[in-house]
Chain A
């Protein structure tokens, strides 16, 4: 597949930098690379699930959570364009996301689900 270069994007970034206005979005090749990375991470996640040595290790859960968080961040930053978009959109998403994550962790502690795992890691 062939693509051509479009010089307007860098100029757009320069023009609006610091003004809180949308910046240039990713390129087609960036989207394909992101899809490849997401597929590879998913493949590693599934592979990890089938390796008994890793499953029995204390790093099994943290490893899966890190890979999941990376995938989550990649989709939000590149596919949802949050990396390039206005900071108000970032605030509208990250604010509730932080509240949601704190709620999950707090409830897990409250119901004694995390205490055992933290103890096992320590």
Chain B
């Protein structure tokens, strides 16, 4: 299978009214600086979770069963790994859809001859698919949070609950912001069509979305899998 390179290199033009002293788009510099700062935000939240891990006085606990001494009721380990694995897969696939959306915008002017090329070249399809997968991930998270509350774990129950809901809640808020951003791009695409001139705008949305994905990669391992 041969492949299409999705973008060629970009040489800044000195006469370009948007030219910058670095030769790089300021929006891209800004989004990378923002992502860098977000790394430190999530590092602080992950640190807090890890420090408090195993220090809760009362259950439910993430990986162990717990018997409430006052009621004699036994609570199972609360994390649901099969459900979270499914949501992780959904988020990984959303990243694939996002790169395909960006590639479709970059190659908008390239003629599409086959059905496969037309599908790969549909930015609306891939933007909508990315947003839909993001919403599915949020649905999984809503289900997880609801089931935890029903099983007796809220943000005020113990240290695990406080740090877990804060960390995953912050991540969920980022996914929500990403979904709104993607749906905005989809609406613009529907209205006037996104093309190569919009490449940077879609690129920065894609960078944000992939960052949300890499944060989840860390959370999935550190919070859910490591006992």
Contacts and interface: CB of A to CB of B under 8 A. Distances in A.
A46 B50 contact: no
Given A32-B96, A113-B50, A21 B10 contact: yes
B89 interface: yes
Contacts of A6: 4-5
Contacts of B3: 3, 5, 27-30
B99 A79 contact: yes
B25 to A, nearest CB: 10
B218 interface: yes
Interface of A: 1-6, 8-9, 11-13, 15-16, 21-32, 34-35, 38-39, 42, 45-46, 48-49, 55, 60-61, 64-65, 67-68, 71-72, 75-76, 79-80, 86, 88-89, 92-93, 95-97, 99-101, 103-104, 107-108, 111, 113
Size class of B's contact patch?
35 or more
Given A34-B96, A39-B89, A88-B32, 10 more contacts: A8-B5, A27-B5, A28-B100, A42-B220, A46-B85, A68-B218, A72-B218, A88-B24, A88-B29, A100-B43
B28 interface: yes
Tell me what chain B mostly uses at the interface: helix, strand, loop, or mixed: helix
Interface string B205-224: 01100110110011011100
Contacts of A60: 226-227
A46 to B, nearest CB: 5
Interface string B192-212: 000000000000001100110
A20 to B, nearest CB: 8
A108 to B, nearest CB: 6
B88 interface: yes
A13 B100 CA distance: 21
A89 to B, nearest CB: 5
A49 B47 contact: no
B70 interface: no
A26 B6 contact: yes
Contacts of A12: 5, 8-9
B220 A68 contact: yes
B81 A93 contact: no
Nearest to B92: A38
A61 B8 CA distance: 41
A21 B11 contact: yes
B28 A89 contact: yes
A80 B47 contact: no
7 contacts: A11-B8, A28-B4, A28-B120, A42-B88, A68-B217, A76-B210, A108-B51
